[in-house]
Amino acid sequence: MSLHQAKPPRVGDSPAVRRTLIALVLLVGAVLVLAPLIVIFVQAFSLGIQAFTAAIGEPDTLHAILLTVITALIAVPINTAFGVAAAWAVTKFDFPGKRLLIVVIEIPFSISPIVAGVAYLFVYGLQGLLGPALQAADIKILFALPGIVLASMFVTAPFVARELIPLMQAQGRDLEEAATSLGASGWRTFWSVTLPNVRWALLYGVVLCNARVMGEFGAVSVVSGNIRGQTNTLPLHIELLYHDYQTAGAFAAASILTVLAVVTIIAKVALERRGAGRRSRVSIAAPSMIAEEPTS
Protein backbone atom coordinates (compact mmCIF):
# COMPACT_ATOMS: atom_id res chain seq x y z
CA MET A 1 0.00 0.00 0.00
CA SER A 2 1.45 3.38 -0.95
CA LEU A 3 2.01 6.16 1.54
CA HIS A 4 -0.63 8.30 -0.19
CA GLN A 5 -3.26 5.56 0.15
CA ALA A 6 -2.45 5.14 3.85
CA LYS A 7 -3.50 8.69 4.68
CA PRO A 8 -6.83 8.88 6.53
CA PRO A 9 -9.67 10.52 4.61
CA ARG A 10 -10.28 14.21 5.27
CA VAL A 11 -13.58 15.59 6.46
CA GLY A 12 -15.69 16.32 3.40
CA ASP A 13 -13.92 13.90 1.07
CA SER A 14 -17.04 11.80 0.90
CA PRO A 15 -19.48 13.05 -1.79
CA ALA A 16 -22.37 12.52 0.61
CA VAL A 17 -20.78 14.65 3.32
CA ARG A 18 -19.82 17.37 0.85
CA ARG A 19 -23.30 17.57 -0.63
CA THR A 20 -24.87 17.57 2.82
CA LEU A 21 -22.70 20.47 3.98
CA ILE A 22 -23.40 22.48 0.82
CA ALA A 23 -27.13 21.85 1.13
CA LEU A 24 -27.08 22.86 4.80
CA VAL A 25 -25.26 26.12 4.05
CA LEU A 26 -27.66 26.94 1.21
CA LEU A 27 -30.66 26.18 3.42
CA VAL A 28 -29.43 28.35 6.29
CA GLY A 29 -28.54 31.16 3.89
CA ALA A 30 -31.96 31.00 2.26
CA VAL A 31 -33.78 31.06 5.60
CA LEU A 32 -31.68 33.72 7.32
CA VAL A 33 -30.76 36.01 4.41
CA LEU A 34 -32.69 35.42 1.21
CA ALA A 35 -36.16 34.92 2.69
CA PRO A 36 -36.19 38.23 4.65
CA LEU A 37 -34.99 40.13 1.57
CA ILE A 38 -37.77 38.64 -0.53
CA VAL A 39 -40.36 39.47 2.14
CA ILE A 40 -39.21 43.09 2.24
CA PHE A 41 -39.80 43.64 -1.46
CA VAL A 42 -43.01 41.58 -1.55
CA GLN A 43 -44.48 43.63 1.29
CA ALA A 44 -43.18 46.91 -0.15
CA PHE A 45 -45.06 46.31 -3.42
CA SER A 46 -48.02 44.47 -1.88
CA LEU A 47 -50.37 47.41 -2.52
CA GLY A 48 -49.01 48.16 -5.97
CA ILE A 49 -46.41 50.42 -7.48
CA GLN A 50 -48.52 53.54 -6.95
CA ALA A 51 -48.80 52.86 -3.22
CA PHE A 52 -45.06 52.19 -3.08
CA THR A 53 -44.30 55.47 -4.85
CA ALA A 54 -46.72 57.34 -2.60
CA ALA A 55 -45.10 55.87 0.52
CA ILE A 56 -41.62 56.88 -0.64
CA GLY A 57 -42.93 60.34 -1.59
CA GLU A 58 -44.29 61.08 1.89
CA PRO A 59 -42.67 64.30 3.25
CA ASP A 60 -41.45 62.58 6.43
CA THR A 61 -39.92 59.73 4.43
CA LEU A 62 -38.21 62.11 2.03
CA HIS A 63 -36.86 64.12 4.95
CA ALA A 64 -35.54 60.93 6.57
CA ILE A 65 -33.80 59.97 3.33
CA LEU A 66 -32.34 63.47 2.99
CA LEU A 67 -31.12 63.51 6.58
CA THR A 68 -29.50 60.10 6.11
CA VAL A 69 -27.71 61.24 2.96
CA ILE A 70 -26.52 64.48 4.60
CA THR A 71 -25.20 62.53 7.57
CA ALA A 72 -23.28 60.21 5.27
CA LEU A 73 -21.88 63.12 3.24
CA ILE A 74 -20.48 64.63 6.43
CA ALA A 75 -19.43 61.57 8.42
CA VAL A 76 -17.85 59.44 5.69
CA PRO A 77 -15.28 62.01 4.42
CA ILE A 78 -14.26 62.90 7.97
CA ASN A 79 -13.84 59.25 8.95
CA THR A 80 -11.96 58.61 5.72
CA ALA A 81 -9.49 61.38 6.52
CA PHE A 82 -9.18 60.09 10.09
CA GLY A 83 -8.62 56.52 8.91
CA VAL A 84 -5.93 57.51 6.42
CA ALA A 85 -4.16 59.72 8.98
CA ALA A 86 -4.33 57.04 11.66
CA ALA A 87 -3.06 54.33 9.33
CA TRP A 88 -0.24 56.57 8.11
CA ALA A 89 0.80 57.42 11.68
CA VAL A 90 0.66 53.83 12.94
CA THR A 91 2.49 52.23 10.03
CA LYS A 92 5.02 54.87 8.99
CA PHE A 93 6.19 56.34 12.29
CA ASP A 94 7.40 55.19 15.69
CA PHE A 95 6.13 57.29 18.57
CA PRO A 96 5.10 56.88 22.22
CA GLY A 97 1.46 55.88 22.53
CA LYS A 98 1.18 54.12 19.17
CA ARG A 99 -0.34 51.05 20.76
CA LEU A 100 -2.76 53.29 22.66
CA LEU A 101 -3.83 54.86 19.35
CA ILE A 102 -4.56 51.40 17.94
CA VAL A 103 -6.66 50.58 21.00
CA VAL A 104 -8.58 53.84 20.63
CA ILE A 105 -9.34 53.00 16.98
CA GLU A 106 -10.76 49.64 18.09
CA ILE A 107 -12.97 51.04 20.87
CA PRO A 108 -16.13 51.62 18.74
CA PHE A 109 -16.15 47.93 17.81
CA SER A 110 -16.15 46.87 21.47
CA ILE A 111 -18.83 49.27 22.73
CA SER A 112 -22.53 48.90 22.03
CA PRO A 113 -23.83 51.75 19.84
CA ILE A 114 -26.59 52.43 22.37
CA VAL A 115 -24.00 52.80 25.13
CA ALA A 116 -22.13 55.24 22.90
CA GLY A 117 -25.32 57.23 22.41
CA VAL A 118 -25.93 57.39 26.15
CA ALA A 119 -22.33 58.52 26.66
CA TYR A 120 -22.97 61.41 24.27
CA LEU A 121 -25.99 62.36 26.37
CA PHE A 122 -23.76 62.65 29.44
CA VAL A 123 -21.29 64.80 27.52
CA TYR A 124 -23.48 67.08 25.38
CA GLY A 125 -26.87 66.83 27.11
CA LEU A 126 -28.35 69.67 29.16
CA GLN A 127 -27.28 67.91 32.34
CA GLY A 128 -24.04 66.67 30.81
CA LEU A 129 -20.45 67.77 31.06
CA LEU A 130 -20.61 70.37 28.29
CA GLY A 131 -24.37 70.90 28.28
CA PRO A 132 -24.56 74.17 30.28
CA ALA A 133 -21.76 75.77 28.25
CA LEU A 134 -23.35 74.73 24.95
CA GLN A 135 -26.74 76.03 26.08
CA ALA A 136 -25.21 79.35 27.11
CA ALA A 137 -23.61 79.64 23.66
CA ASP A 138 -26.90 78.63 21.99
CA ILE A 139 -25.25 75.63 20.36
CA LYS A 140 -27.46 72.57 19.93
CA ILE A 141 -25.69 69.23 19.56
CA LEU A 142 -28.18 66.60 20.70
CA PHE A 143 -31.57 66.13 19.06
CA ALA A 144 -30.17 67.82 15.97
CA LEU A 145 -27.92 67.08 12.99
CA PRO A 146 -24.60 67.55 14.85
CA GLY A 147 -25.46 64.85 17.37
CA ILE A 148 -26.54 62.44 14.64
CA VAL A 149 -23.30 63.05 12.74
CA LEU A 150 -21.17 62.61 15.87
CA ALA A 151 -22.87 59.34 16.80
CA SER A 152 -22.53 58.04 13.23
CA MET A 153 -18.87 59.02 13.13
CA PHE A 154 -18.20 57.21 16.39
CA VAL A 155 -19.60 53.85 15.31
CA THR A 156 -17.92 53.98 11.88
CA ALA A 157 -14.55 55.46 12.85
CA PRO A 158 -12.55 52.18 12.62
CA PHE A 159 -13.69 50.99 9.18
CA VAL A 160 -11.19 52.78 6.96
CA ALA A 161 -8.28 52.44 9.37
CA ARG A 162 -8.84 48.70 9.83
CA GLU A 163 -8.65 48.16 6.08
CA LEU A 164 -5.51 50.24 5.61
CA ILE A 165 -3.33 49.38 8.61
CA PRO A 166 -2.65 45.68 7.88
CA LEU A 167 -1.96 46.41 4.20
CA MET A 168 0.35 49.34 4.94
CA GLN A 169 2.15 47.31 7.61
CA ALA A 170 2.85 44.57 5.09
CA GLN A 171 4.08 47.09 2.51
CA GLY A 172 6.57 48.59 4.93
CA ARG A 173 8.30 51.93 4.59
CA ASP A 174 10.82 51.27 1.83
CA LEU A 175 8.97 53.04 -0.98
CA GLU A 176 8.22 56.15 1.10
CA GLU A 177 11.79 56.37 2.34
CA ALA A 178 13.10 55.98 -1.20
CA ALA A 179 10.82 58.78 -2.43
CA THR A 180 11.89 61.02 0.44
CA SER A 181 15.56 60.35 -0.25
CA LEU A 182 14.99 61.47 -3.85
CA GLY A 183 13.65 64.80 -2.62
CA ALA A 184 9.88 64.23 -2.65
CA SER A 185 7.87 66.12 -0.07
CA GLY A 186 5.57 64.41 2.38
CA TRP A 187 2.44 65.28 0.39
CA ARG A 188 4.06 64.25 -2.90
CA THR A 189 5.11 60.94 -1.35
CA PHE A 190 1.60 60.32 -0.08
CA TRP A 191 -0.20 61.13 -3.34
CA SER A 192 2.32 59.48 -5.68
CA VAL A 193 3.54 56.49 -3.67
CA THR A 194 1.35 55.56 -0.72
CA LEU A 195 -2.15 56.31 -2.04
CA PRO A 196 -1.83 54.34 -5.32
CA ASN A 197 -0.74 51.26 -3.35
CA VAL A 198 -3.71 51.35 -0.98
CA ARG A 199 -6.45 52.87 -3.16
CA TRP A 200 -8.57 49.73 -3.44
CA ALA A 201 -8.41 49.00 0.29
CA LEU A 202 -9.28 52.65 0.91
CA LEU A 203 -12.33 52.46 -1.35
CA TYR A 204 -13.28 49.19 0.34
CA GLY A 205 -13.24 50.86 3.74
CA VAL A 206 -15.19 53.87 2.45
CA VAL A 207 -17.93 51.62 1.03
CA LEU A 208 -18.31 49.77 4.32
CA CYS A 209 -18.25 53.02 6.30
CA ASN A 210 -20.96 54.57 4.13
CA ALA A 211 -23.21 51.52 4.40
CA ARG A 212 -22.90 51.49 8.19
CA VAL A 213 -23.58 55.23 8.49
CA MET A 214 -26.79 54.95 6.48
CA GLY A 215 -27.94 51.88 8.39
CA GLU A 216 -26.94 52.94 11.91
CA PHE A 217 -29.79 52.71 14.41
CA GLY A 218 -28.67 52.28 18.03
CA ALA A 219 -26.49 55.33 18.71
CA VAL A 220 -28.55 57.62 16.48
CA SER A 221 -31.80 56.58 18.17
CA VAL A 222 -30.46 57.88 21.49
CA VAL A 223 -29.04 61.22 20.37
CA SER A 224 -31.66 62.16 17.75
CA GLY A 225 -34.76 62.28 19.93
CA ASN A 226 -36.80 60.47 17.24
CA ILE A 227 -38.59 63.66 16.20
CA ARG A 228 -40.79 62.85 13.22
CA GLY A 229 -39.89 64.88 10.15
CA GLN A 230 -36.93 66.53 11.89
CA THR A 231 -34.35 64.19 13.39
CA ASN A 232 -35.43 60.77 12.15
CA THR A 233 -32.95 59.09 9.85
CA LEU A 234 -34.22 56.36 7.54
CA PRO A 235 -33.73 53.41 9.95
CA LEU A 236 -35.51 55.35 12.72
CA HIS A 237 -38.30 56.33 10.34
CA ILE A 238 -38.82 52.70 9.35
CA GLU A 239 -39.30 51.74 12.99
CA LEU A 240 -41.71 54.63 13.51
CA LEU A 241 -43.82 53.61 10.51
CA TYR A 242 -43.93 50.01 11.68
CA HIS A 243 -45.08 50.98 15.16
CA ASP A 244 -47.77 53.17 13.57
CA TYR A 245 -49.05 50.08 11.71
CA GLN A 246 -48.07 51.59 8.36
CA THR A 247 -46.64 48.29 7.21
CA ALA A 248 -46.50 49.05 3.50
CA GLY A 249 -44.75 52.36 4.13
CA ALA A 250 -42.29 50.75 6.51
CA PHE A 251 -41.37 48.05 4.03
CA ALA A 252 -41.17 50.58 1.19
CA ALA A 253 -38.66 52.62 3.18
CA ALA A 254 -36.85 49.43 4.20
CA SER A 255 -36.49 48.46 0.55
CA ILE A 256 -34.29 51.53 0.05
CA LEU A 257 -31.85 50.33 2.69
CA THR A 258 -32.05 46.84 1.22
CA VAL A 259 -31.06 48.14 -2.20
CA LEU A 260 -28.21 50.00 -0.54
CA ALA A 261 -27.07 46.76 1.09
CA VAL A 262 -27.15 44.91 -2.24
CA VAL A 263 -25.21 47.71 -3.93
CA THR A 264 -22.68 47.61 -1.10
CA ILE A 265 -22.19 43.87 -1.53
CA ILE A 266 -21.70 44.27 -5.28
CA ALA A 267 -19.19 47.09 -4.72
CA LYS A 268 -17.45 45.00 -2.06
CA VAL A 269 -17.03 42.05 -4.42
CA ALA A 270 -15.85 44.31 -7.24
CA LEU A 271 -13.28 46.00 -5.02
CA GLU A 272 -12.04 42.67 -3.71
CA ARG A 273 -11.43 41.54 -7.28
CA ARG A 274 -9.57 44.77 -8.04
CA GLY A 275 -7.24 44.37 -5.07
CA ALA A 276 -9.02 45.34 -1.85
CA GLY A 277 -9.33 41.67 -0.98
CA ARG A 278 -5.59 41.49 -0.52
CA ARG A 279 -6.22 42.60 3.02
CA SER A 280 -7.39 39.08 3.90
CA ARG A 281 -4.16 37.62 2.57
CA VAL A 282 -2.12 40.28 4.34
CA SER A 283 -3.87 39.42 7.58
CA ILE A 284 -2.28 35.96 7.49
CA ALA A 285 1.11 37.58 7.93
CA ALA A 286 -0.22 40.29 10.25
CA PRO A 287 -3.27 38.84 12.02
CA SER A 288 -3.44 41.63 14.56
CA MET A 289 -3.33 45.37 14.11
CA ILE A 290 -1.20 45.43 17.24
CA ALA A 291 1.53 43.37 15.60
CA GLU A 292 4.88 45.06 15.23
CA GLU A 293 5.17 46.94 11.97
CA PRO A 294 7.94 46.02 9.53
CA THR A 295 10.96 48.28 9.48
CA SER A 296 13.19 49.08 6.59
Please give the average per-residue pLDDT across 95-112, as a whole number.
88
- The model carries a pTM of 0.80
- Per the CB < 8 A criterion, the answer to whether 204 and 161 are in contact is no
Please give the average per-residue pLDDT across 213-232, as a whole number.
89
- For residue 144, which of 85, 62, 227 has the smallest C-alpha distance? 227
Q: What is the pLDDT of residues 36-94, one digit of tens each?
A: 889 899 988 988 899 899 989 999 999 999 999 999 999 999 999 999 999 988 888 88
Q: What is the pLDDT of residues 134-172, one digit of tens each?
A: 888 888 899 999 999 999 999 999 999 998 998 888 888
Separation between Cα atoms, residue 257 and residue 238, nearest integer Å: 10
Higher pLDDT, 286 or 134: 134
User: Would you say residue 268 has pLDDT above 90?
Assistant: no
Q: What is the pLDDT of residues 194-208, one digit of tens each?
A: 888 888 889 889 988
User: Would you say residue 277 has pLDDT above 70?
Assistant: no
Q: What is the pLDDT of residue 11?
A: 60
- Per the CB < 8 A criterion, the answer to whether 83 and 161 are in contact is yes
Q: What is the pLDDT of residue 13?
A: 66
Alpha helices in the chain (DSSP H): 3-6, 15-29, 35-44, 49-56, 59-92, 98-110, 113-124, 131-136, 145-156, 158-171, 174-181, 186-189, 195-215, 218-224, 234-243, 247-271, 278-285
What does residue 143 show for φ and ψ, rounded to 5 degrees? 60, 35
Q: What is the pLDDT of residue 280?
A: 44
Mean pLDDT of the chain: 83
Q: What is the pLDDT of residue 275?
A: 63
User: Would you say residue 293 has pLDDT above 70?
Assistant: no
Please give the average per-residue pLDDT across 216-245, as a whole number.
90
Please give the average per-residue pLDDT across 183-194, as a whole number.
81
Higher pLDDT, 263 or 8: 263
- Per the CB < 8 A criterion, the answer to whether 215 and 233 are in contact is no
Q: What is the pLDDT of residue 276?
A: 57
User: Would you say residue 102 has pLDDT above 60?
Assistant: yes
Calculate the alpha carbon distances from 151 to 44, 116, 218, 268 in Å: 29, 7, 9, 24
